[in-house]
C-alpha cells in the first residue's frame, strides 16, 4: 500500500534555492510512486519537533527534510513512538544520511522513502534530549558556536572552514574529566557518536553502528593548535582512528565534567549536539530507553572490501 507521508521541511536548511528545487523533485517522484504527501514547513526553533509529535495518526511516515538539527528535532518529536521516520537531506553536513548511505539522486532517494522497510536504530540520550549522530565537547563545539549561519546558507561548508580558522586563532587549552562506564579518563576534547561518520561523510568511529545500543567515545588526549590541525587532517584522510593521542571506546554511559568556569561558576566548555548548541557541562550521556525506526537503515550494511569502512562515508 502506498505510504501516507508527512514531510517536515526546514526552509532555512542548506542553500535555499537548491534545497527547494531538490525538495520539489523528490516530492514529485514520491507522488509519481503513489504516495500521498503533505508538506509542513517550520518557522521557528523546535517547531519540527512539535510537528512530528502532533502529526495525525493517518501518516505512516514522518520525513525530516533539512539538516542534522532538523533531524534531531524530529527524532525528539517521535521519542517513544513506533511511527517510523525517514531523512530527506537538505543541510550542509547531513551526518545521519551519510551514515545510512542514502542515495543522492532524487529518484533513488524517493524510492527508498516510498518503499524501504523501517529498521530499528538506537539513539543516545543527553539529559532529556535524544540524538542520533554526535555530541561534541571542546574544540568541535567551539567551531559550532563560532559558525555564521547566514554565511553557511550562502557558501555551505566553507563557513565551517572559516569557523575552524577563527577557533584555531583563539585556541585555548581545556581539560575534561570523562567517565566511560565508570572508568575515568582525561582529555582535551571529546566526541560521542552513534554512527561511523562525522562532519558529513568523514569516518571517525569505524566500528560504530546505529543498530547497536552502544556509544562510541572518541577522546583527544592532547591539546594545542597543531594537534587540532593534525586531527582535522587525519579525519579528512580517514586516518583519525590511527592518530596518536586518540582513543575510541565503546560504552553504555558517559559523563563529562571540566574545571574551567567563569567568575560566577558557569562552565566555559561548550557542548554541541547534532550540530546545535547543547546544555553546558556537566553532562551525562547514555543509550535511549527504546529504539527509533528509520526507513533506509537497512543500507547500513555495505562495507568496502578490505577496509572495514562503509562505502557511503568514503565515496559519496
| Higher pLDDT, residue 78 or 43 | 78
pLDDT for 307 equals: 37
Residue 306 has pLDDT above 50, yes or no: no
Following CA atoms 199, 201, 203, 209 in sequence, which dihedral angle do they give, to the nearest 10 degrees? Answer: 100
Nearest CA among 86, 144, 91, 93 for reference residue 270: 144
Q: What is the pTM of this model?
A: 0.87
For the stretch 245-278, pLDDT in tens is 999 999 999 999 987 555 555 557 889 999 888 8
Q: What is the percent of the chain with per-residue pLDDT over 70, rounded to a whole number?
A: 91
Residue 301 has pLDDT above 60, yes or no: no
Tell me the average pLDDT across 229-254.
92
Amino acid at each position: 500500500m502506498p505510504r501516507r507521508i508527512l514531510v517536515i521541511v526546514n526552509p532555512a536548511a542548506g542553500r535555499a534555492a537548491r534545497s527547494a528545487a531538490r525538495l520539489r523533485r523528490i516530492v514529485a517522484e514520491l507522488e509519481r510512486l503513489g504516495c500521498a504527501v503533505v508538506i509542513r514547513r517550520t518557522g521557528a526553533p523546535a517547531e519540527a519537533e512539535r510537528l512530528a509529535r502532533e502529526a495525525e495518526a493517518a501518516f505512516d511516515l514522518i520525513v525530516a527534510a533539512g539538516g542534522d538539527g532538523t533531524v534531531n528535532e524530529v527524532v525528539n518529536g517521535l521519542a517513544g513512538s513506533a511511527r517510523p521516520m525517514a531523512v530527506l537531506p537538505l543541510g550542509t553536513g547531513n551526518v545521519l544520511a551519510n551514515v545510512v548511505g542514502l542515495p543522492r539522486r532524487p529518484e533513488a532517494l524517493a524510492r527508498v522513502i516510498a518503499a524501504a522497510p523501517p529498521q530499528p536504530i538506537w539513539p543516545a540520550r543527553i539529559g532529556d534530549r535524544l540524538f542520533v549522530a554526535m555530541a561534541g565537547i571542546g574544540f568541535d563545539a567551539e567551531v559550532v558556536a563560532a559558525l555564521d549561519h547566514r554565511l553557511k546558507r550562502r557558501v555551505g561548508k566553507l563557513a565551517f572552514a572559516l569557523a575552524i580558522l577563527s577557533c584555531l586563532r583563539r585556541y585555548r587549552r581545556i581539560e575534561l574529566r570523562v567517565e566511560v562506564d565508570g572508568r575515568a579518563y582525561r582529555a582535551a576534547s571529546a566526541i560521542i557518536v552513534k554512527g561511523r561518520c562525522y562532519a558529513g561523510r568523514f569516518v571517525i568511529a569505524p566500528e560504530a553502528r546505529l543498530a547497536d545500543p552502544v556509544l562510541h567515545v572518541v577522546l583527544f588526549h592532547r591539546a594545542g593548535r597543531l594537534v587540532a590541525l593534525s586531527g582535522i587532517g587525519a579525519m579528512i584522510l580517514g586516518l583519525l582512528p590511527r592518530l596518536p593521542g586518540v582513543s575510541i571506546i565503546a560504552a553504555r554511559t558517559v559523563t563529562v565534567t571540566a574545571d574551567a568556569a567563569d567568575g560566577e561558576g558557569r562552565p566555559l566548555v561548550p557542548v554541541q549536539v547534532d550540530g546545535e548548541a547543547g546544555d553546558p557541562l556537566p553532562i551525562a550521556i547514555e543509550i535511549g530507553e527504546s529504539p527509533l525506526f528509520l526507513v533506509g537503515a537497512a543500507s547500513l550494511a555495505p562495507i568496502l572490501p578490505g577496509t572495514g569502512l562503509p562505502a557511503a562515508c568514503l565515496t559519496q
